[in-house]
Amino acid sequence: MIQNILSIVVALGLLITFHEFGHFFVARRCGVKVLRFSVGFGKPIYRYVGKTGTEYTLAMIPLGGYVRMLDEREGNVPPELKNQTFNVKSVWQRIAIVAAGPIANFILAVAIYALVAVLGIQTVAPKVGGIAANSPVAQTQLQSGDELVMVAGEDVASWEDVNLVLAGLIGKTGTIIVRYQPEGSSALQEDTVSLDRWLVGEEPNNLIQAFGLAPWQPQVAPVIAQVVDGGAAATAGFLAGDTILAIEDQSINQWRQVVSVVQANPNNALFVDVLRAGNRVELVLSPKSAEQNGQTIGYAGLAVVPPQWDESLIRERRYGPIESLSYGMAQTSKMISLTVSSIGKMLQGLISVDNLSGPITIAKVASASADSGLQSFLTFMAYLSVSLGVLNLLPIPMLDGGHLLFFGIEAARRKPVSEKIQNMAYRLGASVLFALMAVAIFNDIARL
């Protein structure tokens, strides 16, 4: 819980601060007086007043922020300060101020991706471990041990690349090309895959799995590394270093066999043969029960000795300063395109609203990415920054995009939209945003 909270505070805190700083920076350059720069909502826990009179605050709820500018529409303004109000600036200056927030998020994403590139990008090659029957990829001659090279016209060098390409294929109808390198061959092979409204209306937990692919993994020998105190295995007398030979007289040579049998037998006694110091020892294991995805499964409280990965599958790419900036721009552009495409597909009904996520899911993903290392956490922050920028540009009143819509109309008509219409639109926009937030939070809770 503490890690979840700290992860989301760090991630959202930085992204929101950068977003609001974009508004603040351009507003000051356009001669607008900024009254308050706030990170977070609610009661301030820190307050500082700068030399220019701007109040900088850090509030208790780190799920947003705002820049409050001097504006005649919000109260009386002294005559000597009227030239510093937001509302008297030209429409193009107001457009620049409002657009600066999302643009700042895109700039931050480029910088983060570039930093990741400089530090070195370590990935696992997309070597196939298995093909699911009756899946899209089962239409090809792809086999276990082959390595993916291209999917749907996009080069792929890691499973992360594959996942991003597949995300863009949701709702697609038509054929795509899958290029791969068969195991033991230097030649490349191509096959086609036919898709028909792929995953429309579904909420896939794993796009790679939904496509019919299982990533290659090394064989995990059933050698015990740790026995959890107080667990079923500890009660049964298991020791670190034991090698599981058989369960209920069925030979065991892979750890996944142990997991499968244990999960299928909650509260049932299992006779287990282990090899200990060269001797065969029989133990009786009664797995405890636990709920997982609505089902009761067994668990023993054992940890396995981690396998050794084939180092040839671990790929690391490092970039120089210029190359890293180019990589950052390319990745940001790709993420913007994917996010816009996903929103469009959701409006068309091709992607279910069940895929909407709120702060709980963001916190969990932030925590998980932090667990996976600095590269994973930075990559997540970059994508979150892109999402924040794109979502704020949606033409919904209350968001930056809604303001830009009104200013665009004003620039075209050479006069502003009436206050009455704007107020009605803002109330409608607030209702839409609250509804979307309610759906996202409901989805978060349902996933728990």
Does residue 410 have an active-site annotation? no
SS (H, E, C) 279-329: EEEEEEECCEEEEECCEEEEECCEEECCCCCCHHHEEEECCCHHHHHHHHH
**371 sits in which H/E element:** helix 359-371
Q: Residue 299 — φ and ψ, nearest 5°?
A: -145, 150
Q: Show the tokens assigned to 426.
A: 């803002």
Q: How far apart are CA 252 and CA 250, in angstroms?
A: 6
Q: Are 20 and 68 in contact (CB under 8 A)?
A: no
Q: Residue 235 — φ and ψ, nearest 5°?
A: -60, -35
Q: How far apart are CA 210 and CA 171, in angstroms?
A: 13
Strand 224-227 to 279-285 pairing:
unpaired
Q: Are 297 and 260 in contact (CB under 8 A)?
A: no
Q: Are 114 and 318 in contact (CB under 8 A)?
A: no
Active-site residue (options: 20, 72, 311, 410):
20
Q: Which residue has the tokens 């295995």?
A: 233
- Residues designated as active site: 20
